[in-house]
A and B are shown apart, each in its own frame.
Chain A
Amino acid sequence: MSKLTLENLKVMHLGPIDLVARAAEVICLSGRSGAGKSLLLRSIADIIPHTGQVLLDDRSSLEHTAPHWRKQVALLPAESQWWQDSVGTHYGKIDKTMFGHLDLSEESLQWQVSRCSTGEKQRLAILRVLANKPKCLLLDEPTGSLDPENTKRVERLIKEIADLEKIPVLWVSHSEEQIERVADRHVIVRDGGVFEQ
């Protein structure tokens, strides 16, 4: 059960932005490329400097150490990065039953990163971010490189986790159909602000 609050958030040409994402709520963000969707998610995860406040359950990001904050308010970037040869070394503790949800198996941990397809990497990256048991998810086009079937799988899994763990999700998407399927609310990022649909 957690809640994410943005107060007066400003970063570069964006803001001030006020937004509340309640427990178990999926908010889809859309808008032209360059509008600042990724910028917004990156500042919420405190990866880039910004002004204003971001709060998780009424506690400001500044009350957490930065690594602790980023584990709880987890950002999945549009393009996942891998820095070791094998997939498995990128994971800490992971619930092995998760793999089945995204049409992967435990053996995936033995794979070489260089031999994974873009789609496989993306699904592995989603599992990697979930392994931290975040209290809020920031997803930057999580299904951008996935086929329709896996897209549905990811949507089901994220919705399930949002409901089960009662965590808020900010989900950047360009697909109207996807937004239709997953969003509880839909906001558009435009002209440096966010506008509720």
Chain B
Amino acid sequence: MNNTIIPLSPLDLAIAAGLIVLLALLTWRLRLGMSQQLLIAGARTVVQLVLLGLVLKYLFATSHPALIGLITIVMLAVAGREVMARQQRPFKGLWGYGLGTTSMFISSFAITLFALSIIVVPEPWYQPQYAIPLLGMMLGNTMTGVALTLDHLTQNAWQQRAIIEQRLMLGEDWHSAIKDIRRQSLRTGLIPIVNAMAAAGIISIPGMMTGQILAGNSPMGAAKYQILIMFMITAGTGFAAVMSSWLGARRLFDERQRLRLERLKPLNGAG
């Protein structure tokens, strides 16, 4: 890492922004109705990333454990909200938020801690240059997996109510009555990350590896980090998806193993 990255000036970024303005002009001329959205999204990218840069700059400078802890909790809270927002029929009440968030918390934090304390071992272990990006990547991917899993689970339980109840009537326990749906929901949650592992390096050069190569790391060094990240993300997503599908399935039944779909919010979001 002896050669440093070429710095970008505000002018460089302004030129890149010109491309987006050009695209917006084009879509406006063609009346595609996308120009406004494009410009707003572009502006958000600038504001959000500059803010992130400022926060991380401050964080790296102080390296205070409490501050790092606070940031990770904010990250988790936002990811939890996102998981709930992506479901068509989330659970009512605290469960709606708590179920996905708990699964993500246990899985992402455990695996990030594991990687920091046993594999990467920075000094100190919570050094934010490592902890924050690792956790961010874990949460970002786990979030998608958990959201897909829970959405598929609740949606299909709703649609296949008659079948689940028929299986209960024949004397199956709750576990067995919903196992096909649970298995499908797990598959749905895990397919994107399994595909990403299979396609890595051939169809796409993963963002993190790109970043490290640009920053002057050797391609082999970048590849090794990318492999580590891929495994962490897959394990984290997998454990979180298994946990959330189990908790979700359990919550669909009461203590007498009756299917209680009224614990889900109706589709229009009311109630």
Q: Do A and B bind each other?
A: yes
Query: What is the interface of chain A, defined by CB distance below 8 A to chain B?
Result: 45-49, 65-68, 70-71, 74-77, 79-81, 83, 128-129, 132
The answer on a CB contact under 8 Å between A75 and B169 is yes
**A-B interface, 5 closest residue pairs, ranked by CB to CB distance from nearest:** A71-B171, A81-B166, A66-B257, A81-B163, A67-B173
* B 245-263 to A, binary, CB cutoff 8 A, 1 in contact else 0: 0000000001011111000
Check if B169 sits within 8 Å of A47, measured CB to CB.
yes
- Chain A residues with Cβ under 8 A from B162's Cβ? 77, 79, 81
| Distance, CA A75 to CA B172, complexed state (A) | 13
Interface SS of chain A: loop
Taking a contact as CB atoms under 8 Å apart, the answer to whether A77 and B172 are in contact is no
Taking A71-B170, A81-B163, A81-B166 as known contacts, 16 extra A-B pairs with beta carbons closer than 8 A to each other, sorted by chain A number, are A47-B165, A47-B259, A65-B173, A65-B257, A66-B256, A67-B172, A67-B173, A67-B257, A68-B171, A70-B168, A70-B170, A74-B169, A75-B169, A77-B166, A81-B162, A83-B160
Complex CA gap A66/B163 in Å reads: 17
Are A70 and B169 interface neighbours, CB within 8 A?
Answer: yes
Q: Across the two chains, which residue of chain A brings its CB closest to B180? A: A83
Show 24 residue pairs from A and B whose CB-CB distance is below 8 angstroms, ordered by the A residue. Answer: A46-B256, A48-B258, A49-B254, A49-B256, A65-B257, A66-B258, A67-B168, A67-B171, A67-B173, A67-B257, A68-B171, A70-B169, A71-B171, A74-B171, A76-B169, A77-B162, A77-B165, A79-B162, A81-B162, A83-B160, A83-B167, A83-B180, A128-B170, A129-B170
Q: B171 and A47: CB pair below 8 A?
A: no
Q: In the bound complex, how far is the Cα of B173 from the Cα of A66, in angstroms?
A: 8
Chain B residues lying within 8 Å of A71, measured Cβ to Cβ, are 170-171
Q: Interface extent on B, as a size class?
A: 10 to 19
The residues of B that contact A67 with a CB separation of less than 8 Å are: 168, 171-173, 257
- Residues on B with beta carbons closer than 8 Å to the beta carbon of A79: 162
A46 touching B171 in the complex, CB below 8 Å, given contacts A79-B162, A80-B166, A81-B163 = no
Which B residues are within 8 Å of any A CB, using their own CB?
160, 162-163, 165-173, 180, 254, 256-260
Q: A79-B162, A81-B162, A83-B180 are in contact. Are A46 and B170 (CB under 8 A)?
A: no
Which residue of A has the minimal Cβ distance to B177? Answer: A67
- Out of A47, A68, A74, A77, which one reaches B258, CB within 8 Å? A47
Chain A CB within 10 Å — which of B167, B171, B257 has the most? B171
Contact B254 A77 (CB under 8 A): no
Please report the C-alpha to C-alpha distance between residue A74 and residue B172 in the assembled complex, in whole angstroms.
12
Q: Is the beta-carbon distance between A77 and B169 smaller than 8 angstroms?
A: yes
Bound-state CA distance A129–B163 (Å) is: 14
Find chain A residues with CB under 8 A from B259 CB: 47
Q: Which residues of A contact B167 (CB under 8 A)?
A: 81, 83
Nearest CB of B to A89, in Å: 12
Q: Which residue of B lies closest to A71 (CB)?
A: B171
Point out the residues of chain B lying under 8 angstroms from A128, CB to CB. Answer: 170
Residue of B with least CB distance to A72: B171
What is the bound-complex CA distance between A21 and B172, given in angstroms?
25
Given A67-B173, A71-B171, A132-B171: A49 and B163 interface contact (C-beta under 8 Å): no
Inter-chain contact A47/B170, CB cutoff 8 Å:
no
- Give min CB distance, B87 to chain A, whole Å: 24
Minimal beta-carbon separation of B169 from chain A (angstroms): 5
Complex alpha-carbon distance, A49 and B260, angstroms: 9
List, in ascending order, chain B residues with CB within 8 A of A68's CB: 171
The docked-state distance in angstroms from the alpha carbon of A46 to that of B162 is 15
Tell which of A47, A49, A83 touches B168, judged by Cβ atoms closer than 8 Å. Answer: A47
Q: How far, in angstroms, from A152 to B172 measured CA to CA in the complex?
A: 30
A48→B170 CA distance, assembly (Å)? 15
Instruction: Give the one of B173, B254, B256 with max A CB within 10 A.
Output: B256
Residues of B within 8 A of A65 (CB): 173, 257
Question: B169: which A residues are within 8 A, CB to CB?
Answer: 45, 47, 70, 74-77, 129
